[in-house]
Structure 1
Amino acid sequence: MTSVFGWVATDAEQRRRMTGLVDQFRDSTTIDDLGLGGIRDAFADTLFPGTSTLHTRIRYALFVPWLMQLAADRRSSVSEMSAAFARSEFQLTTALLEGREVTGVIGRVAGADLKRTASVVYWGMLSSWGVISRGFTLRQYFERVLLRRMQARTQPRADDPEAVWELTPTGLHEGLPSAPPDLLTSTDFTLRPEDARFLRESITYSAPDSLLAHLVQNKPDGWTDRDSAPESFASPEVMRDLPLELHSEVDRAYRYSVAIHGANLLYNLVLASRTHRKRDDGSTYGEHYEAWIREWFDEARSVGLPDAEDLRRIWMMVTSTGRALSPSTRSFVEGWCAAVVDATSAEDLIHSQSLATRVANREQEKKGPRARLNPSNRQALDAWTGAAGTGRNTFRWGIVRDHLQDLYDAEAAS
C-alpha cells in the first residue's frame, strides 16, 4: 500500500513546518529512480549547508528576518505581528518587481495564490547559517519581542549608569544589518557591502569546515562573472588551495557522482531495451545509451571509483546528517562500484544481464508498483520520454554558484 500523509493547515507556522517536511523529499537536480537521493542530499548538506534547490537568490536570507523585524515593530500582539508579516511577504514580491527584478522573485507568477512563501523556502537556511536560532519559530520570535519590551519597561533603575541589564534574546542574530528604508516599496537582489559581510561571517562561523565557507572567503581564480563561474563544484580552480581534508571530501563527492551517473545511464539503457523506442535521428535509444556508457566508462576509469574507505566515509557522512541508510542501499552502491572496477571494458556493463536485473530490482524495491520496470506497469514504461535521471549529481552547485556570485559582486563593488 502506498504511504500518504496529510495535515490541516490551521495556521501559518504549522503550514511552514509541514511544507518544509515535504521539501525534504524533493530535490529537482535529478530524478531519483534508484533511491539514492539520501546520499546525494547528504553530500549537498555537507558541502553546502543551508542550501536548497528551491532557493533563488541569497538576499532572501536577509529579506525574511528584515520582514520579521518590520512586522514586530510597534505592534502589540503576536496575532497582529503574524498578520503584518504575512502581508509583507506579498508586498516584498511587488517591491522586487518595482525594483526591476524578474528572475528569482518568489511569488512573481503565483501572486496572491502563493503557498510556498519566502519564509517557508528559506527558513532552513536561516537556521543553518545562524541568522535565527535553531529550532525557533516565527511565533516564538514575536513572543520574545513582546517579552523584551516588558523587560525593558519593568527592569529596575541601576545606580551604576554603566550597568547594562541583559534582555532575553529574540532569536535573531544581533549583528543583522539594518533593513533598507525602501524594502517594501522598491528593492532588488543586490547585496550591500554590509549585507555580504554579515552573510560571509555567518556562513563561516556556522559551517567553518564546509566547501561553502571556504568559497565565501576565497573566490576561485578566473571567476569574474556568471559566465566565467566554474562549471563544477570540483573544477580545478575550485579544488586548488583547498585544505587537505576538504580537498579529499570534495574529490570523494565528485568520484561518487561520476560512479552513480553510470548506474543511471544503465537504468535508461534497460528502459530503452524494453521499449525499443527510436530517437528523432532514426537511431534507437539503446544505441544512444550504449555510446554514452562507453564514453562514461572511460571517464570513470580516468577519475577513479570510490574505494572501500571512500564508501565507509560516505556511509558515515550520510548517517551523521540524520538520514537513514538501508543495507540494500549500501549493497547496491558497493556492488555497482565493484562491477565497474572489475569490468575490462564498457561492453561488460552494457551486456551484463545480472547488472540489468540488479538495476531493475533496485527500482522496484524503491518504487514498488510505480516502477517503470515492474512487469505489471506497462503504462509507466510507455510514459518514459527517453531520459530519466540522466543528469549527474551536482549537489546544488548551480544554486550555490548564484549565491556566491551575489557575494562576490558585493565585494567587488565595495
Structure 2
Amino acid sequence: MMTASRWEWLDFDEAEAKQVRDFLSQAVDGEGVDPLRLGASVRDRMADRLFPGTSTQYTRLRYVFLIPAILRRKGATVGNLSQSQMVLNVALDRANAEEKGVIGRRTPGRDFVHLYWSALRTWQFLTPLTKDDRDITVANGLAALQARASMDEEDNRLVEQRVQWEPRVVMLADQFWDSQKASGWPSIRCTRAEVDFIIEQWLALPGKPPLAAIAARLQEGRRLSQAIYPWEAAVGSFADARVELDRAKAVSLICWSAQLAFNFALLKKARRLEDRNPETTWRQRGQDLESTQRRIDNLFAAWAKAFAEERSTLTPWAVPSHWEPLGSDVSRNFLASTAKKLIDGHTNLKSEGWSTWVREREMVNPAPKLSNDHHLATWSGTPEMAQRWDFRWGASVRRFVEDAENPRG
C-alpha cells in the first residue's frame, strides 16, 4: 500500500488525484490492472455518477468529520498537521481495536486529511468565498477554521478568508474535542448528529444521484448495506436514481463479458508461452495457472447466471451513442459491438472469436500481453480485472451506508 507521503504531488489536481488513487487502490489481485483500458473512462466515470465524492480508498465515514476536527484544534498549522494526524491515528487504533477500516492501523502516519479531502469538497462541507473551487484547499480550510474566532465587534473578519465552512461542521468539530473524556474516545463510528448532517448533504447533491436516493432511504430508517451490488439497493420513488442504477448494471455486465474473455485468452496464451519459456514472472512467483483457471471458471459460471437473467436489458447498449458520456469514441464503439455480440448469442467467452476481439482491443494498451510475448512473460499469473464491477459499492460506499445505519449513541 502506498503511503500518503508519496501521494502529496497528487493534491495539486483533485480530480486526477482521486482517479489515480482509485486505480492504485485496486492493485490487489490484478483488479488495478486495466488491460482493455476501460477502468478510468467507463468504470470510474460511472462510479462518479452513482456516488459522487467517493473513492475506493475510503474506509469509514467518520474520517470526513475527523478532518475538520483536526484542522479546528487549537494551534493546528500546515506544518504540524502530519504529526497531529499520527497522534490521532494511534489514538483511533487503540480505541477501536475491534473495528475495521481504521486506516492508520498499519501506517500511523497515514494522511487521511488529503485522502478524504475530495469528499468534503463534493459534499460541500466548505465552499469558496471567491466562487473559485480551486480555493478549496487544505491550507485555506485550515486557515478558515483557525481564524474563525478572529472577528471584530461588528462581526467582520480580521483575516481575509478564501473559504467558509458549513456552520454545523464547525459545531461538530468542536463537539469532537469536547468529548475527549468520554469512554471509548476517539470512536471511528459517527455520532447521530454527524449522520444527520451527512444525509442532508447527500440529499442536496446536484442531479439527485443514487447516493441522494440512498440518503433518503436512510432518513426513513431503511437498511441498505446488505445489498451485494448497488442496483440491489431499494431506492424507492427516486426514478432517476433507479435508471442510473439499471444503467450501471448493464454497463457492468457488458464490460465483465469483455474482461472475462480477455482472461480466458490470457490463460490460453500463457500456457503456450510456458511450453517455450520457463522464465516467466508467474513461474518465478510460484503462481499456478491451474488455480487461476479455476477462479476464472468460477467467475464465468457466475457471469453465465447473471447473463441469463439480464440479457433482455442489453439491446439499447448495442448503439454507441447510448454509452455517452462514458468512454471515448473508440471505447464506445468497442463496447456497443460487445453488447451486439452478446445479444446475437455469442456467449462462449472462451472461443477464438472472443480471443481475437479482445486482442484487437488490447492494442490500445502500450504493453499488450496477447500480442507480445515479452509483455506476456511479465504477467503475475493472477486474473486481471476479472471481477464484476460494483462501482465502489463494496470497496467503500456500502461501508459508509452501514456506518450511517449504525450511529454511535
TM-score (norm 1): 0.76
Shift of 1:385: 1.7
Unaligned runs of 5+ in 1: 1-8, 157-163, 319-324
Structure 1 pair 146/194, CA: closer, same or farther in 2 (3 Å)? closer
Q: Aligned-residue CA RMSD in angstroms?
A: 3.7
Q: Name segments (4+ residues, structure 1) moved above 6 Å.
A: 220-223, 277-288
| 1:356-395 deviation line (CA, Å, top 9, x unaligned) | 22311222312x1x222232425x3463424221111000
Structure 1 pair 147/107, CA: closer, same or farther in 2 (3 Å)? closer
The one of 246, 249, 255 aligned to 1:254: 249
Structure 1 pair 63/203, CA: closer, same or farther in 2 (3 Å)? same
The one of 329, 334, 347 aligned to 1:327: 329
Deviates more, 1:56-65 or 1:307-316: 307-316
Establish whether residue 104 from structure 1 lines up as the match of residue 76 from structure 2.
no
Q: Is the 8 A contact 1:257 1:393 kept in 2?
A: yes
Amino acid at match of 1:107: G
Which residue of 2 is the match for residue 402 of structure 1?
A: 399
Structure 1 pair 260/146, CA: closer, same or farther in 2 (3 Å)? closer
Establish whether residue 339 from structure 1 lines up as the match of residue 334 from structure 2.
no
| 1:71-107 deviation line (CA, Å, top 9, x unaligned) | xx3x4xxxx6223433221111122123134532222
What count of residue pairs does the alignment treat as equivalent? Answer: 367
Amino acid at match of 1:88: S
User: Hey, what's the Cα distance between the residues in 2 that align with 1:97 and 1:285?
Assistant: 36
Amino acid at match of 2:81: F
Which residue of 1 is the match for residue 283 of structure 2?
A: none
Which residue of 2 is the match for residue 204 of structure 1?
A: 203
Establish whether residue 173 from structure 1 lines up as the match of residue 166 from structure 2.
yes
| 1:12-46 deviation line (CA, Å, top 9, x unaligned) | 97663368744413334533211111211111111
Which residue of 2 is the match for residue 307 of structure 1?
A: 316
User: Hey, what's the Cα distance between the residues in 1 that align with 2:37 and 2:89?
Assistant: 36
User: Hey, what's the Cα distance between the residues in 1 that align with 2:65 and 2:292?
Assistant: 47
Shift of 1:334: 1.2
Amino acid at match of 2:192: P
| 1:256-282 deviation line (CA, Å, top 9, x unaligned) | 101111111100111122123899999
User: Hey, what's the Cα distance between the residues in 2 that align with 1:295 and 1:202?
Assistant: 37
Shift of 1:310: 7.7
Establish whether residue 214 from structure 1 lines up as the match of residue 209 from structure 2.
no
The one of 76, 82, 88 aligned to 2:84: 88
Amino acid at match of 1:255: A
Q: Is the 8 A contact 1:252 1:306 kept in 2?
A: no
TM-score (norm 2): 0.77
Amino acid at match of 1:350: K
Q: How many percent identity over aligned positions?
A: 21
Which residue of 2 is the match for residue 232 of structure 1?
A: 229
Shift of 1:247: 1.1
User: Hey, what's the Cα distance between the residues in 1 that align with 2:86 and 2:36?
Assistant: 39
Structure 1 pair 141/222, CA: closer, same or farther in 2 (3 Å)? closer
Which residue of 2 is the match for residue 141 of structure 1?
A: 141
Map 1:105-124 to 2 at 5 A: 105-111=102-108, 114=109, 116-124=110-118
Q: Is the 8 A contact 1:216 1:407 kept in 2?
A: no
User: Hey, what's the Cα distance between the residues in 1 that align with 2:149 and 2:211?
Assistant: 37
Amino acid at match of 1:401: R
User: Hey, what's the Cα distance between the residues in 2 that align with 1:194 and 1:273?
Assistant: 55
Q: Is the 8 A contact 1:64 1:119 kept in 2?
A: yes
User: Hey, what's the Cα distance between the residues in 2 that align with 1:89 and 1:231?
Assistant: 33
Shift of 1:339: 1.1
Q: Is the 8 A contact 1:93 1:108 kept in 2?
A: yes
Q: Secondary structure at the match of 2:36?
A: coil
Q: Secondary structure at the match of 1:171?
A: strand
User: Hey, what's the Cα distance between the residues in 1 that align with 2:214 and 2:224?
Assistant: 15
Q: Secondary structure at the match of 2:231?
A: coil
Which residue of 2 is the match for residue 159 of structure 1?
A: none
Deviates more, 1:247-256 or 1:91-100: 91-100
Which residue of 2 is the match for residue 161 of structure 1?
A: none
Shift of 1:400: 0.8
Shift of 1:292: 5.4
User: Hey, what's the Cα distance between the residues in 2 that align with 1:225 and 1:298?
Assistant: 24
Shift of 1:284: 8.8
The one of 67, 70, 91 aligned to 1:67: 70
Structure 1 pair 298/310, CA: closer, same or farther in 2 (3 Å)? farther
Q: Is the 8 A contact 1:261 1:391 kept in 2?
A: yes
Unaligned runs of 5+ in 2: 128-132, 275-285
The one of 356, 371, 375 aligned to 1:374: 371
User: Hey, what's the Cα distance between the residues in 1 that align with 2:80 and 2:298?
Assistant: 58
Shift of 1:286: 6.4
Which residue of 1 is the match for residue 270 of structure 2?
A: 275
Deviates more, 1:241-250 or 1:36-45: 241-250
Which residue of 2 is the match for residue 39 of structure 1?
A: 42
Deviates more, 1:382-391 or 1:183-192: 183-192
User: Hey, what's the Cα distance between the residues in 1 that align with 2:319 and 2:196?
Assistant: 35
Establish whether residue 359 from structure 1 lines up as the match of residue 361 from structure 2.
no
